[in-house]
Structure 1
């Protein structure tokens, strides 16, 4: 008689993932990947600090202060709370400006740096080392990236934070030092409970666009804390009856026994403060603006040909019209608005998202002249390239043209430490004097030689209100 394999003798898919997380070691990270992880940490912290005085962030911070929490994890700008709440706050900061890194898969785009909040809070709460933190962050990049590759969910109506639920829990559990069995339960709990709807990023956009991943960071951290107390989760979360595959993603296979910790090398960093698929088009707009004879006040029409994902998400395709722009959330996901403001201002940084600039008549009028068209050939080149072909015609018939397939920060031209430091200083300067910025960057650059508490102690001294430029100068 043949005896069927049972879950008591068979390693489920989440158990196999947990074994990968458990065996991940700092020594497995290549020097190239380690440097890029540190660049991502510095970049993410700069983006987070730059958001400290944003209205939604102030509301979140006020709520966390009212709720309290066991003070075992530090919040940027000072104060301590429970790890899951600190994870939410740091992730909210790093997401608000929409200036973080990205991972491009054919059917999914995620932002692995969103996991820093969970990793930082979990690591600090157990007295972790910089090596522990960097290893857990490398795990987050690997898990989220590989699930984005093999199990995209956007076309099924779910948000990319769905894959993040697995990455946040896996990395938080790793940072907490949980054994493989408890890592599996943490991932199963978080993955089962956090399947977010894509309506988060379609139509009229709300504050939740920037808070959807913080929610996942919080819940992934809480799932890891639960698992650490012996709480179990569905052991067949991936392959089980009405599990992730059957209900949402469809069938896919990832052999976690062959995975490494190098996915960070395939992630990219934003050059412009804008949705990731716009980056090459905005570079093209800057080139046109620099050409002799260009006059932004005399633009008759703007025509962009690009790849299908950019058109679908930010260009007025399947995720809704992008010419009703009243808020930051709508502006940074509107390719017509972003092209218009770059053609007018020459840049797209946090200053362009001031409410008065978002609704200014010149940019509102110019974005109505922008036409975005997808191209099959360009689409076939994505995600290895981000093709954008931009033409601008003036009222006198003069035409300007520029094409881009990548940008500084893309795979073909990765950001180096000096570039990351310049971006960090640009964003953090209003909240931290030069000596504090030097201290934070210095700790990050040799984080493997520090305790996580060394980094969070410096982050606690960042101001939550802007200081005068003369006070932050080098």
Structure 2
């Protein structure tokens, strides 16, 4: 009995081919993009260093087996750890994202493109140390900045018109896709390798947003991006050992990403890949709070100058009838909460808490 299902492998999905072509062939010529990437690198490292003051973060860092040091391994900035690049990517990625202070991209899908630095820095450092041990030239900072610009672009352009949160998926899927593409290139992969690695990233299990929303908000949101960029390094590494890819990972009927996880819809694109995202990315300079609460916190801090002196005792605070916040749908869906706040992740994703702190403390 014939199933009439063709077993002829199709050409790779064009979405994946476009990513591979961009990473392999596109030349970044934008001074603005490189200058922003340099500032982004410093800002992101600063976010990571600050996270080292928090035991909740540092307890997750280091080798799986205490005392392990990997020859020519990647250094974890601010620590004594020298790890394999897969684990180093998790360590660096978790540090970067822990406090929710690094850069932001807002579109149909939001996210933090500098999360990709977990994989980029780990792999670049490993390659450089290995090259030096073999008498070869290390990578340069320009190589790192170029990888950053391209990772930002892949994540940001995919996010412009495609809402992953609307189907329950966390935005760290875009970190996995972008990191996989640029890390495969850094490791010496060619265009075919990038296609294979990115296809594996799409068929991977993808993170749900459960840990970002009431009543389950928790600390996983602080290490989810580290997990994604670390997974990207692993997939790139496996690909360069000869592991195969899956050409219609997105479009395969019934079993592809679109049918299984995207309600049968294909990705939409507003613009080709270039350097737009790095040039336009947002930094949390004024108010290091969840970005949908930025304006609420700004207003609360300004109002503190007017009412802060009247909010010095519990009796004065209890006299407040109500506080009205007018905001947008995304903020209400993500950070509008009532009831007890159980952990730091709960608090920094609660617009009521953030506004209250601004009103009380300025």
- Identify whether the pair has TM-score above 0.5, normalized to the shorter chain: yes
Q: Which residue of 1 aligns with 2:44?
A: 44
- Structure with the higher strand share, 1 or 2: 1
Is 1:234 aligned to residue 252 of structure 2? no
**Hey, what's the Cα distance between the residues in 1 that align with 2:25 and 2:37?**
19
List runs of 5+ in structure 2 lacking aligned partners.
1-5, 129-138
1:39 deviates by 1.3
Distance in 2, Cα, partners of 1:238 & 1:213: 22
Q: Quick one: which of 155, 158, 176 aligns to 2:166?
A: 155
Distance (whole Å) between structure 1 residues aligned to residue 84 and residue 342 of structure 2: 35
Match of 1:259 in 2: 273
Corresponding residue of 2:153: 142
Secondary structure of the residue aligned to 1:252 is coil
Write out aligned runs for 1:294-443 (5 A). 295-297=310-312, 298-299=316-317, 300=320, 301-316=322-337, 321=338, 323-346=339-362
Of the candidates 82, 86, 89, which is equivalent to residue 88 of structure 2? 86
Q: 1:293 to 1:215 in 2, by over 3 A?
A: closer
Displacement of 1:294 in angstroms is: 5.1
Query: Is 2:228 the partner of 1:216?
Result: yes
Uncovered stretches (5+) of structure 1, i.e. residues with no partner: 347-474
Deviation larger for 16-25 or 64-73: 64-73
Equivalents in 1 of 2:158, 2:270: separation in Å? 11
Given that 1:119 and 1:137 are in contact with CA atoms closer than 8 Å, whether structure 2 keeps it comes out as yes
Preserved contact between residue 159 and residue 200 of structure 1 (Cα < 8 Å): no
The Cα shift of 1:171 comes to: 2.0
Q: C-alpha distance in 1, partners of 2:195/2:248?
A: 10
Q: How many corresponding residue pairs?
A: 333
Query: Is the 8 Å Cα contact of residues 200 and 208 (structure 1) preserved in structure 2?
Result: yes
Give CA-to-partner distance per residue, 1:412-446, whole Å, 9 cap, x none: xxxxxxxxxxxxxxxxxxxxxxxxxxxxxxxxxxx
Query: For the residues of structure 2 that align with 1:7 and 1:145, how far apart are their CA atoms?
Result: 30
SS at match of 1:305: coil
Q: Which residue of 1 aligns with 2:204?
A: 193
Q: Give the distance between the partners of 2:299 and 2:64, measured in 1 at CA.
A: 42
Q: CA deviation at 1:255?
A: 8.5
In 2, the alpha carbon distance for the partners of 1:141 and 1:177 equals 20
Contact 1:88/1:117 (8 A) holds in 2: yes
Distance 1:293 1:155, change over 3 A: closer
CA distance in 2, matches of 1:159, 1:175: 26
- Aligned-partner SS, 2:52: coil
1:268 is the counterpart of 2:282: yes
Q: Which residue of the partner structure matches residue 99 of structure 1?
A: 101
Change (3 A) 1:294 1:304: farther
- Displacement after TM superposition at 1:184 (Å): 1.2
Match of 1:441 in 2: none
1:8 Cα deviation after fit: 5.9
Q: Quote the residue 1:75 is aligned against.
A: 76
Q: Residue 115 in 1 paired to residue 126 in 2?
A: no
Q: What is the CA RMSD across the aligned residues, in angstroms?
A: 2.2
- Cα deviation 1:291-349 (Å, max 9, x = unaligned): 37852233413111011111110023xxxx4x321311111001111111111111xxx
CA distance in 2, matches of 1:266, 1:49: 25
Contact 1:12 1:235 in 2 (8 A): no
